[in-house]
Structure 1
């Protein structure tokens, strides 16, 4: 069966997602990209290297278990975190990879499945996604995208130049979901400052695109970074002063040892170490205490950098470059939704090696796992939408009997784990009767929210009895 699924998995998946989107009105305009390791436990035979087929990477996981991994690359809908497209990669694939083949394959898949016009799609990723290579791939494919990039010194210098040229921060009317119930003065304030950047295709100088670089200042992030910076500066200076008192004592009697101790005890991996300089001075006229540890602090540079606390950079290309600054921020803030997709596959899958003799079967199994994630995600989405519409939480679903308006698929399935059907058979093994377990109060609420009949009513229909 797995062998047959492998050859047809792309066509089956396209039909599943297209029908799900159409029947459940799933919005596919915003797709969130991310990767994770998908882990299998079991002893598998050595796999032959085959082009296009993922390779299981053996090794120990953080729990010390011997497992084998694939890398799962997925695009999930912002509407419910449903998996829309995925690809299984070699287990050793790093996060710095340029996913050009995967995005090109998605575009071809989307065209064949008639999801929606690709120029209407905006890809959203975390800090690992908008590499220069990925951005160039998206622009060439005509895909819009939004994502953060690691802020380098040239980015900070550009921001300083924009401010010096007269541009000002503009407050963005964005409120995070978790802060909706807070008083306005207690909410995080977001400010934006953006500019347009022209990019030319290095392989075809006649092609160019306009990108939006949007600097975001978060008051909450600025507060946390300021506190961390202050604590690190104070900790480093205090430790250096302590080491100064130990110079010429114990084993602090060589320049090398003193410098090593400062690095190990004071600097460690603290970011603020770049503002400190140290020097071990030798005094020949002081034979009993010939060494002296001196240090300096570049407080002017530290203050200059502190002015950019709480600032990060978002890049937007394609259709996304035409959005307002507030919309760019709001779209990117929804990146967490992809975690719903990965939450359902973030476990160790125990598989008998007998069934996975070939890499193709492993890829087919990943396909079945993602079908499960799609179905579970749809159930979770439908229940949450129904509860939000009715504003009636499911009572008693959560631990300690708490209520919830946002149940997870795992929690919903667990409620029905002990639901049973008793069948009565005669001596000839002919069924003469059946009894369904009585639904408890929580199960009743879930079926009501989904608009589903009781199991007994379903199986009483002609053809199912």
Structure 2
């Protein structure tokens, strides 16, 4: 693939075809639904052709165009408007079987394009990396959601670099807490108590911080050390998974 300019380097890309049975079933069901609705509309138009509302070929063709666009069957719909012995327009229609067969043969197939060579990653590794994109995208969601990062106008580049560093450190801590809890839960990586209905889910960083938001710290006195006050069982469970002793809060050494 060459760039738009002559001095742009030429990139050699690799295409991997992937078939998904789940996607194929979904595409087949969606096509069947579109065809069924289009057939219903066309049958109705066929009955009304030559009547009060569709008494000319132009009106019938206009309605066919609306149906084809709305139901997305323009590529496979074949229609013929003729004139009967009574000089009234008539409609004949059918779906092109060859077009439908070609679409059915492509169901479930999609292509992955990569610059990785077969020596760097085989087809399975490329597919695995593609499926792992959701993790990266979820971290972008964390930026805009729990961390609530918003655009800021800064005067110097060093301030931009410093702000990005702080944000990335916050995201790193956010992700490490989520990782620690999931690893402590074992292979299943699910727990109860995060939702009101008590269903088992995989904890996310946002859920963990939401549940720990109500924790309070009792300051130390002359006779007792500082203590984390726990009011719910899920808080105690999360602190245990994080390896935090509520009777010994960690403080920076001065």
The answer to whether the superposition gives a TM-score over 0.5 is yes
- Say which SS state the counterpart of residue 344 (structure 1) adopts: helix
Give the distance between the partners of 1:224 and 1:392, measured in 2 at CA: 29
Q: Structure 2 vs 1, CA of residues 235 and 210 (structure 1 numbering), >3 Å: closer, same or farther?
A: same
On the 8 A contact 2:18/2:109 being kept in 1, the answer is yes
SS for the counterpart of 2:197 is: helix
Corresponding residue pairs, total:
246
Separation in 2 of the partners of 1:208 and 1:392?
45
Q: Which structure has the larger Rg?
A: 2
Q: Distance in 2 between matches of 1:366 and 1:204?
A: 36
Q: How far is the alpha carbon of 1:432 from its aligned partner?
A: 10
**CA RMSD of the aligned region, Å?**
3.7
In the alignment, structure 1 residue 249 sits paired with structure 2 residue 41: no
TM-score with structure 2 length normalisation?
Answer: 0.77
Give, in angstroms, the shift of residue 310 of structure 1.
Answer: 0.9
Secondary structure at 1:232 match in 2: helix
**Superposed displacement of residue 305, structure 1:** 2.5
Task: Establish whether residue 407 from structure 1 lines up as the match of residue 209 from structure 2.
Answer: no
Give me the whole-angstrom Cα distance separating, in 2, the residues matched to 1:297 and 1:229: 12
Map of 1:260 onto structure 2: 62
In the other structure, the counterpart of 1:304 is: 102
Tell me if structure 1 keeps the 8 A contact 2:228–2:249.
Answer: no
More RCO (CA 8 Å, sep 6+): 1
Taking a change above 3 Å as real, the CA distance of residues 225 and 438 of structure 1, as seen in their structure-2 partners, is same
Within 5 Å, give how 1:25-104 maps onto structure 2.
none
* Rounded Cα–Cα distance in structure 2 between residues aligned with 1:302 and 1:317: 34
Q: Structure 2 CA distance, aligned partners of 1:438 and 1:257?
A: 76
| Pairwise CA distance, 1:448 | 2.5
1:325 Cα deviation after fit: 1.7
Unaligned runs of 5+ in 2: none
Residue 213 in 1 paired to residue 15 in 2? Answer: yes
Does structure 1 retain, via aligned residues, the 8 Å contact 2:239–2:245? Answer: yes
- Answering whether residue 68 of structure 2 is matched by residue 277 of structure 1, we say no
Q: How does 1:96-115 map to 2 (within 5 A)?
A: none
Contact 1:420/1:437 (8 A) holds in 2 = yes
Q: Which has the larger strand fraction? A: 1
CA 433–454 in structure 1, closer or farther in 2 if over 3 Å, else same: closer
Cα displacement (A) at 1:408: 0.8
Question: Shift of residue 315 of structure 1?
Answer: 0.9
Shift in Å, 1:276: 0.8
Change over 3 Å in CA distance of 1:223–1:420 after alignment to 2 = same
Given that 1:423 and 1:435 are in contact with CA atoms closer than 8 Å, whether structure 2 keeps it comes out as yes
Match of 2:229 in 1: 438
